[in-house]
Amino acid sequence: MCTSPRPRRRALRAAGTLLTAAGLLISGCSSGSSTAAVSMAALPKSTPRALTPYYEQKLAWRECGAPGFECATMKAPLDYDKPDSGDIKLAVSRKKATGPGQRIGSLLVNPGGPGGSAIGYLQAYAALGYPASVRARYDMVAIDPRGVARSEPVECLDGKQMDAYTQTDVTPDNTRERDELVRAYKKFAAGCEARSAKILPHVSTVEAARDMDVLRSVLGDDKLTYVGASYGTFLGATYAGLYPDRVGRLVLDGAMDPSLSARAMNEDQTAGFETAFQSFAKDCLKRTDCPLGGAAGAGAAGAAGSVNGGTPSGGHGGHGGDAPSAGGRPAATPATAGERLKAFFQKLDENPIPTGTPGRDLGEALATTGVIAAMYDEGAWPQLREALSAAMKDKNGKGLLALSDSYYERADDGRYANLMFANAAVNCLDLPPSFTSPDEVAKALPAFEKASPVFGDGLAWSALNCAYWPVKATGRSHRIEAKGAAPIVVVGTTRDPATPYRWAESLAAQLDSGTLLTYNGDGHTAYGRGSACIDSAINDYLLKGTAPRDGKRCS
């Protein structure tokens, strides 16, 4: 995390998951091969006559939020194929360039999701925390994508219903538990249809990218300058694919690979969270307060291991090959740390522990969400160690519940932001479902458990939700080449949990003008997270138009 009050960037495709909102990519049926996917076709360069009124509209700006911010409402067609069938109202916010120096134009930002509020991100962080040199010369601008936050938000369940939904068991052990999981997914989908039927067919990423082009025109910019993170990279790359001649300076940080099926993304991301957990575990085991068997010695290891009588049945690895510690016990390793955590999750599946909030005991689903939430930023690791210690040693689940609530954007009064609702709505429209039945999930479990012994089971079952979505997917996996576009900077972090590094490699290779910038480190995304090398390269690009050398690496 950078020093400003920056909201944690969510995983790209949480898909309304019960387990974690952990970016479970709703999966499709294609092979996931970049070479097999069809390339996205650009739209005609001329604006269709029916869209001219949208492109030429004037925004009525008004003061809003903190001093210096302005807000407006922009109209776009609900259905671009039938622009005369009605409008959708989209919320826009900006903070004008502060100077000194000549204004370059507008810089549009998006924090990801899908479902993250770009306006919330702008007003809480970007317009204050971006480098002063960038803010001096750009109007900082955000638009909440259709269906998100202030832009005719998708709604699905009330607070109490969401509390129940987020506690649903997503590691079913028998037919009864499978049926309960399916009922939860169906109830979620039915709630979205009942509350948001009009907008559900029209919240795709392609439509959101077309909205950004309307905004570009309305702001008076010939080309789009944009910084997108996580899912925001898919949104930005989609814009480039549709309008390559209108690409200005695009930064895609924590990149997605649009050529993959959702099933392939699910498996890759599952492996990504395992990689992040291994990094966390290595760090944790050096600490005296590590509850997974670290430097505290046998006492800590014993406390952690005792949650389920030691190594979980069927656990990966095992203690037999570990070198003994000074006290005669096997030395703790990331593998044994994972076993202890998995054993703890299994114990919670049977016996949830108190959190201090009535009706919200900490079970396996909420605990896993809390752990995965902390994987996005190594700055959250101390908080996770403390929360795990309290839960595993003292049977106090308050800390892990707080991490889970922050991820789901649940307020203290029990209300949820629409993050999870919009997330599912976009994901289930963008790609066909990962699985169409519980039997398909069951067959895929070995692959997911191989990708992550700790998280694989739950992440696989969480990918079932779009099977019951009320609107058929309109998108498919595809390559994005954006031939003829100006240089586009694609940023990848080597141990990113939510957007694995190879996705950045793939997207940079697909883009005709892509240039890959690598951060060798932990956490989700790279810009503004402490690497002077990364920040300098991106700032130079935004201010001077000079893209970093393709393949440049930073740490």
Name the burial class of residue 544, with classes exposed (0-12), middle (13-18) and buried (19+) by CB atoms within 10 angstroms of its CB: exposed
List the one residue out of 139, 155, 157, 159 whose CA is nearest residue 147. 155
Candidate from 88-92, 258-262, 330-334, 382-386 with smallest mean pLDDT: 330-334
List the one residue out of 166, 150, 147, 217 whose CA is nearest residue 18. 166
**What are the residues facing 74 on neighbouring strands?**
90
Q: What is the pLDDT of residue 461?
A: 97
**What are the residues facing 247 on neighbouring strands?**
224
Residue 318 has pLDDT above 50, yes or no: no
* Count of other CB atoms within 10 angstroms of residue 435: 24
What torsion, rounded to 10 degrees, do the Cα atoms 74, 75, 78, 79 define? -110
Look up the pTM and report it.
Answer: 0.89
- Does the bond joining 114 to the residue before it have cis omega, within 30 degrees of 0? yes
Residue 329's pLDDT band (cuts 50, 70, 90)? low
Give the domains, in start order, of the chain with CATH numbers. 1-287+420-555 (3.40.50.1820), 288-408 (no CATH)
Residue 16 has pLDDT above 70, yes or no: no
- Does the bond joining 258 to the residue before it have cis omega, within 30 degrees of 0? no
Q: What is the pLDDT of residue 294?
A: 67
Across residues 433-440, what is the average pLDDT?
97
CA distance 193 to 471: 9
Candidate from 117-121, 214-218, 321-325 with smallest mean pLDDT: 321-325
Across residues 233-259, what is the average pLDDT?
98
CA distance 86 to 53: 13
List pLDDT tens digits, range 258-285.
Answer: 999 999 999 999 999 999 999 999 999 9
List the one residue out of 361, 308, 314 whose CA is nearest residue 167. 361
List the one residue out of 236, 234, 216, 215 whose CA is nearest residue 224. 216
- As a whole-number percent, the residues of the chain with pLDDT over 90 amount to 85
Degrees to nearest 5, angle at CA 541 with 485 and 129: 120
List the one residue out of 491, 490, 538, 541 whose CA is nearest residue 513. 490
Q: What is the pLDDT of residue 301?
A: 35
Averaged pLDDT score across all residues of the chain = 89
List the one residue out of 181, 167, 163, 164 whose CA is nearest residue 349. 167
Residue entry with tokens 């510690």: 325
Degrees to nearest 5, angle at CA 27 with 22 and 33: 115
For 174-190, letters b (16+ CB in 10 Å) and e give eeebbeebbebbebbbe
3-state helix, strand, coil in the chain (%, to 5): 45, 15, 45
| Helix (H), strand (E) counts: the chain | 19, 10
Which residues are annotated as catalytic?
Answer: 230, 496, 524
Across residues 120-125, what is the average pLDDT?
94
Residue 127's pLDDT band (cuts 50, 70, 90)? confident
What torsion, rounded to 10 degrees, do the Cα atoms 109, 117, 362, 403 define? 40
List pLDDT tens digits, range 147-206.
Answer: 999 999 999 999 999 999 999 999 999 999 999 999 999 999 999 999 999 999 999 999
DSSP symbol at 480: -
Residue 137 has pLDDT above 90, yes or no: yes
What torsion, rounded to 10 degrees, do the Cα atoms 106, 112, 115, 118 define? -30
> What is the residue type of 552?
K
Residue entry with tokens 């020093």: 3
Q: What is the pLDDT of residue 307?
A: 30
Residue 108's pLDDT band (cuts 50, 70, 90)? very high
165 contact partners, CB below 8 Å, separation of at least 6: 18, 157, 184, 187, 188
Choice between 517 and 1, residue whose per-residue pLDDT is larger: 517
Name the phi and psi angles at 472, rounded to 5: -70, 140
3-class secondary structure, 105: strand
> What is the residue type of 226?
Y
What is the enclosing helix (H) or strand (E) of 522? strand 514-522
List the one residue out of 339, 336, 334 whose CA is nearest residue 278. 334
Residue 29's pLDDT band (cuts 50, 70, 90)? very low
Residue 322's pLDDT band (cuts 50, 70, 90)? very low
* Count of other CB atoms within 10 angstroms of residue 381: 18
Q: What is the pLDDT of residue 26?
A: 29
Across residues 245-251, what is the average pLDDT?
98
